[in-house]
Amino acid sequence: MLKQLLWKGCLGAVICVTGFGGFPTESQAGEKLAQSSSETVVAQEISQPELEKFAKAIADLRAIDEETQAKMIEAVEATGMSPEEFMEIGKQEQSDRNLSQDKQVQFDKALEAVRNLNEEDRRKKRVAVEEAGLKISRFNEIGKIVENDRDLQKQVVDILSR
């Protein structure tokens, strides 16, 4: 059970960082990041130290996700909206929203706060990966390789559960 939870968190962090909503496809320095899981990954050797760094980054990314989610909930609630109400309004097309002016103002304030927190989250994740000792591009490569290799997945989960 613990391993399943750890792996789900691990996979979520990999997905988040590998371009499915985490980092933009190009970094500020212009470094190209992985754009989709359909790209072919050249099976490269992953050393044990790299796998350790990758797992450390995953653990750090999970902690950042938890912190950001809590801050987002607080930011939305500070506007007087519930997170569920915010999400429901956010799912609607802007032209289909039938909101009072006050509710629209609440939503706009909450949305701005969430966007700012999301930007902060991206910066923190970049730093976490780099502080773990990996370049973003290598982290993405390892993530794709691990995603498709059950043995490596098990090794990462074992590292995370220490």
Specify the pTM.
0.70
Cβ pair 34, 19 in contact under 8 A? yes
d(CA 118, CA 106): 18
pLDDT digits (tens, 9 = 90+) for 7-16: 344 444 443 4
Instruction: Give the domain extent around 27.
Output: 2-160
Per the structure, the count of domains in the chain is 1
Give the pLDDT score at 45: 85
Burial class (CB in 10 A: 0-12, 13-18, 19+), 39: exposed
* Average pLDDT of the residues of the chain: 79
Torsion angle of the four alpha carbons 113, 126, 55, 69, in this order, in degrees rounded to the nearest 10: 0
pLDDT for residue 6 is more than 90: no
pLDDT for residue 99 is more than 60: yes
| Nearest alpha-carbon partner for 51 in 139, 126, 131, 127 | 139
